[in-house]
Amino acid sequence: MTQDDERLNEIASLLARLAPDGSKTLKFAYRAVGSSFEQAFIPDGMTAAEARLPQSGIYPLLRHLRARMYEDGDGTWLEMDLTVRSRPEAASLADDDAPAWEVRYRSVDEITFADEITPLAAFEEMRMFPQEARRVPRWMGALASVEDAVDRFDPHDFSPQDDLESALPDGLDGLFTAARERLLAVVPREDADRFLVGRLADGCWSIVHAPPAWAAVRMENGESVEKHAYAGPVAAVAFAAGAVLAEAGAEVNSSVLRGAGALSRVTDRKKGVDAWTLPAHDKNGSRQVRRSMAAERPEGAATRGRRYLALSPLDNRHGGYFVVHPGPVPAQGDFVSTHQIFEWHVRSGLPEARTPAPAPAEEVVLDAGMELDTAEPVSSGLLFTLGTPFERRRLPGDPDHYSYRVYRVQRPITATPVDLGAKTFHRPGESGPKRLPDEQGQAFSLPGPIIDHLESGDLVEISGPGGAPVAPRDYWDTEEEP
């Protein structure tokens, strides 16, 4: 048994103690990036077990396991799925001191939550678990560069940015004015004036541009005591304005919670229904309950000036106006800071940047004699350079289930290079984590389906790389061959 297995035995045993009596199986999901991003879930309605995770002692073990499994230059896993099962002789997991388990790790190339990762978390991950530059996904490198720009921000070298509006992306004209209007709708002008744009002052939250980053900066005694990095200005503005409202002690009421997407109001006069409920699972309130239920409680400097409340007790509250009285972070269960509530509230009233028009498609000429392959049917219009790894072909299933065909270009074809992204492939029994191969390969989108180019003579099928042409098929099945 390896040291990693021993650590997993400890983790599985801790989880078994949390399982309800009579449970034979418990599923556990864990995500971590850097030191600032950490989430854990126990699905299947085991909310009580999930709420006990912060006191279970499991998180230090998971962090140690991540560090132990670091591969020099390759990083470590960011996501784990662990299934714990009671052994046959145990009545339930709660009675099993050494349960069985199955684990699946995911690398940065495989994770399912990339859109939730912050610049800070990406920056921390690359410092804690360095990777060779060629192994860092472009999206993670871009996120880390945003945090790096703000990390290097020095208020003593800062010059006022008087025309920051001109740096805003298309569609965001009036962003700063909209934020100020949101502030003035809630707090007096003297509090709203603590939101600054392009300049720094003690006791204030400032928006500054440090390309490629936008930052929310708080100053005290001439120093930046808080710096938060964002890839775009809207998120930075919402954070800073939300902080101003929270620090002003603004009232958290049902209207604010609704505007923040933390609660929804359900009414049906015919049925006599009028209630506040947690919104759909993809809205802020429900997502926060899910994220925070198993989270460790913030403490120390992280709670400076912060007040908290729990959202789940507000679910199914009778409709009508009400006020919440925040306080210290709840000892157990879900929680959210008033800063986060006001950040959501402000953001709901801010403009969104226009989606930039796609860049004109690049075109290349596939010269006569060039050989390409594919595992797709001839109804497809995609061909690949020889040796393109399966993981970079955007195909489902097992690579052994595909037949590769090789083609030679007979007449020049104008094609479009395609970035298909990539997906790692796992065989049954592999626990991971698995990184993408170094080989990139290249895909090309043809003007028409492969079959059209075969019939026109632009392409010919050959027996293999460097091989001779094969006899034309007496059928061209456009899906799968029989």
Structure-token pair, residue 417: 């290079």
* Over residues 231-244, mean pLDDT: 98
Residue 470 has pLDDT above 70, yes or no: yes
* Over residues 411-427, mean pLDDT: 85
From CA 229, how far away is CA 431, in angstroms rounded? 35
**CA proximity to 50, closest of 345, 390, 294, 351:** 294
Please give the torsion angle defined by the CA atoms of residues 136, 137, 141 and 142, in that order, rounded to the nearest 10 degrees.
170
Digit-coded pLDDT (tens) for 404-414: 999 999 999 99
Cis peptide before 212 (omega within 30 of 0): yes
Whether 260 and 309 have beta carbons less than 8 Å apart is answered as no
Pairing of strands 205-210, 195-197: parallel
Start-to-end Cα distance in the chain: 47
* Over residues 174-191, mean pLDDT: 97
* Over residues 416-430, mean pLDDT: 80
Digit-coded pLDDT (tens) for 79-107: 999 999 988 777 677 676 789 999 999 99
What pTM does this model have? 0.89
pLDDT of 269:
85
More confident residue, 451 or 280: 451
pLDDT of 236:
98
pLDDT of 475:
54
| Mean pLDDT over the full length of the chain | 92
Domains observed in the chain: 3-128 (3.30.500), 155-357 (no CATH), 364-462 (no CATH)
CA-based max dimension of the chain: 83
Digit-coded pLDDT (tens) for 196-230: 999 999 999 999 999 999 999 999 999 999 999 99
Digit-coded pLDDT (tens) for 353-375: 998 888 888 999 999 999 999 99
Whether 112 and 77 have beta carbons less than 8 Å apart is answered as no
pLDDT of 365:
97
Looking from the CA of 290 toward its CB, the CA atoms found within 13 Å total 17
Q: Predicted confidence band at 74 (pLDDT cuts at 50, 70, 90)?
A: very high
pLDDT of 480:
46
Residue 482 has pLDDT above 50, yes or no: no
Answer positive or negative: Cα dihedral of 445, 449, 452, 454: positive
Residue 75 has pLDDT above 50, yes or no: yes
Structure-token pair, residue 249: 């002690």
| Residue 422 one-letter amino acid | A
Say what percent of the chain tops pLDDT 70: 97
Burial of 120 (C-beta count, 10 Å sphere; 0-12/13-18/19+)? buried
